[in-house]
Amino acid sequence: MTLGHMRFVSVRAHAATAAPAGVTPGTTLAKMSTKSRSEPWQLAVMGDLHLAPEQMHLFHAARSHLLAAMSEEGKPVPGARVAQLGDLGHGKHASGSQRCFKFAKDFLDGFGVPYAMITGNHDLEGDEYETDEANLSAWKEVFDQPHYWSADLGSARLLGLSTVRYRSNENSHHEVYISHDQVQWLEGQLAEHPHTPFIVLTHAPPMGCGLKVIQEVHIKNRCAWLNHSQDPKRFLDIVSRHKNIKLWFSGHFHLSHNYPDSISTVGSTAFVQVGVIGECNRDGLRQSRLLRGTPSGYELFTVDHDTGATRLDLAADWADTAPPVPVTPADELLCDPSAGWLCSQMDCKVGDNIQGLVTWYPVGSETILALHDGGLLIEYDMATAAPIGLVTRVPEDCRLQPVTAQGSPCAREDGADVAEIRVLEADGSLREALPRNSAGAFYRVYQPNKWKLKRAQKQAQAQSLVAV
């Protein structure tokens, strides 16, 4: 069903063939789609907001920058649209609460153009809600939209997928989890429209996409990738089977657009990191994305929120089958290996130390360990070349010794006989022994679900008071 040129599926849709529900007049999404396939359009994509009252001068200026970039003769062009990738509120100001949602809605309404949103991990941490379902329901009520949806922008289709877990996550409460019904719906949309270019929005990126990631934060806590702890490879598998996914935007890391891997490509799909507007940036840069589309292709820009200037980063035709090539000026690119970020160096030889950045240790056919400059021992998935977890931090004067189950030196070149990694002091004494975990890998769970722990502590306190 189509209303206001908008197509979306309701949260009740389960099967790939389920009929989409109509949007009632007046909803946020009712005007998100453009009027025709031939109409040019512009989409401002904002990453994590983390709105704070004391920082609103930054957000109001950024809104002016984005509107100016989408305007002609002082007015937004008819095809001007806005998308926001989740994490609306600031931790100091009740993020995830109804008050937070209403505050964010006031800011987004101020654009004066159609907009659509998805949820991020911090959008489901409202203290006033006992369940993820109640928190998500409050979000949908305030913004008057479903948590996953599609809109037609000219000849392209824009899809938004949302995280639905926080309290119920298996491990880190900050893992971004896309539910099975959303994945089914995504597959159905792609199958039904094989010749339509798709643009996907998620809060975190898929594992294996190649975007820059923060090893000691999101990898350590195993909340970097979509569904990080439960079948994270399914999303890249979808990309490999559907060549019409042309762009995939994500935020989550609070990183700027100025790294060599702020845009990465897998096949003909470009994965795009989106920065932040406020003070929560990690590298001093405040940026958003601007996507301009026509029936034949697109141009992707960075909008700088210190100056309001735009910079072309990528351009391609929708019909291109070759990987799109970023055109970000080389003199604006950053590299900070000392911060523990590894820039796509899986093509090195095992055991080599590449420019002092990483030494590889084979541990079988599924994963491989990398000792980074700075002492982080990170485990990587071999199939996707993606980091999946932190093993430990190795002091500078220590060394690693992989051993078999019998404690003897490993003999196999592929490391399949490695049962334990030992961290040895300079004098050869044992500092730490790291056996394989229950999944057969070496990473450790450093961030259990803190919401569950906090709730268990409250229950224990309540029981102790009753006992007294």
Express each pLDDT in 392-417 by its tens digit. Answer: 999 999 999 999 999 999 999 999 99
What are 128's two structure tokens? 């006033």
State whether 234 and 316 are in the same domain.
Answer: yes
The range of the structural domain enclosing residue 408 comes to 346-459
- What Cα–Cα distance (Å) separates residue 387 from each residue in 65, 82, 127, 289, 441? 35, 32, 32, 26, 12
Residue at 9 is within a domain: no
Bigger pLDDT: 356 vs 91: 91
Is residue 246 within 8 Å of residue 190, measured between CB atoms?
no
CATH label of the domain that carries residue 143: 3.60.21.10
Strands (E) in 166-213, as ranges, are 198-201
- The closest alpha carbon to 116, from 72, 152, 90, 91, belongs to 152
For residues 45 and 37, what is the distance between their CA atoms, to the nearest angstrom? 21
**Angular region, 252: left φ>0, alpha ψ -120 to 50, beta rest:** left
pLDDT of residue 8: 33
The CA-CA-CA angle for residues 388, 203, 299, to 5°, reads 110
For residues 362 and 346, what is the distance between their CA atoms, to the nearest angstrom? 12
For residues 238 and 331, what is the distance between their CA atoms, to the nearest angstrom? 35
Mean pLDDT of the region 162-167:
97
For residues 55 and 156, what is the distance between their CA atoms, to the nearest angstrom? 35
pLDDT of residue 356: 53
Computed from CA positions of residues 343, 216, 449, 249, in that sequence, does the dihedral angle turn out positive or negative? negative
For residues 140 and 41, what is the distance between their CA atoms, to the nearest angstrom? 26
Residue at 263 is within a domain: yes
- The closest alpha carbon to 197, from 156, 225, 231, 158, belongs to 156
pLDDT of residue 343: 45
User: Any alpha helices (H) in 193-311, and if so which ranges?
Assistant: 234-241
- The closest alpha carbon to 289, from 269, 273, 278, 306, belongs to 273
Mean pLDDT of the region 115-126:
97
Residue at 324 is within a domain: yes
State whether 165 and 201 are in the same domain.
Answer: yes
For residues 313 and 326, what is the distance between their CA atoms, to the nearest angstrom? 6
For residue 346, pLDDT beyond 50: no
Residue at 339 is within a domain: no
Give the three-state DSSP class for 217: helix
For residues 41 and 158, what is the distance between their CA atoms, to the nearest angstrom? 12
- The closest alpha carbon to 135, from 107, 108, 186, 173, belongs to 173
Q: Mean pLDDT score of the chain, rounded to an integer?
A: 89
User: Any alpha helices (H) in 371-443, and if so which ranges?
Assistant: none
State whether 317 and 395 are in the same domain.
Answer: no
Amino acid occupying residue 292: R
State whether 289 and 359 are in the same domain.
Answer: no
Residue at 134 is within a domain: yes
State whether 239 and 387 are in the same domain.
Answer: no
Amino acid occupying residue 460: A
- The closest alpha carbon to 191, from 239, 242, 150, belongs to 242
Q: How many CB atoms lie within 10 A of CB 355?
A: 10
For residues 201 and 185, what is the distance between their CA atoms, to the nearest angstrom? 14
For residues 319 and 304, what is the distance between their CA atoms, to the nearest angstrom? 29
Residue at 1 is within a domain: no
For residue 19, pLDDT beyond 60: no
Residue at 19 is within a domain: no
**φ, ψ dihedrals at 379, nearest 5°:** -100, 135
State whether 297 and 366 are in the same domain.
Answer: no
State whether 278 and 377 are in the same domain.
Answer: no
What are 310's two structure tokens? 């735009």
Q: Is residue 156 within a helix (H) or strand (E), and if so which, with residue range?
A: strand 156-160
- Using 50, 70 and 90 to split pLDDT, how confident is the model at 450? confident
What are 446's two structure tokens? 């450093």
Q: What's the DSSP call for residue 137? A: H
pLDDT of residue 452: 81
- Using 50, 70 and 90 to split pLDDT, how confident is the model at 28? low
Please give the model's pTM, rounded to 2 decimal places. 0.90
- Token pair 């926080």 is found at 166
State whether 75 and 158 are in the same domain.
Answer: yes
Boundary of a domain, candidates 299, 332, 365: 332
- The closest alpha carbon to 153, from 247, 301, 293, belongs to 293
pLDDT of residue 347: 39
Residue 407 has, within 13 A of its CA and on its CB side, a CA count of: 2
State whether 317 and 385 are in the same domain.
Answer: no
Boundary of a domain, candidates 303, 332, 361: 332
State whether 267 and 354 are in the same domain.
Answer: no
Mean pLDDT of the region 362-368:
97
What are 139's two structure tokens? 């979000």
Residue at 454 is within a domain: yes
Q: What's the DSSP call for residue 205? A: P
State whether 68 and 155 are in the same domain.
Answer: yes
Residue 99 CB contacts under 8 Å (≥ 6 apart), including other chains: none
Beta-bridge mates of residue 264: 271
State whether 248 and 296 are in the same domain.
Answer: yes
Boundary of a domain, candidates 287, 309, 332: 332
What are 227's two structure tokens? 């569904």
Q: Is residue 189 within a helix (H) or strand (E), and if so which, with residue range?
A: helix 180-192
- Using 50, 70 and 90 to split pLDDT, how confident is the model at 24? very low
> How many domains does the structure of the chain reveal?
2
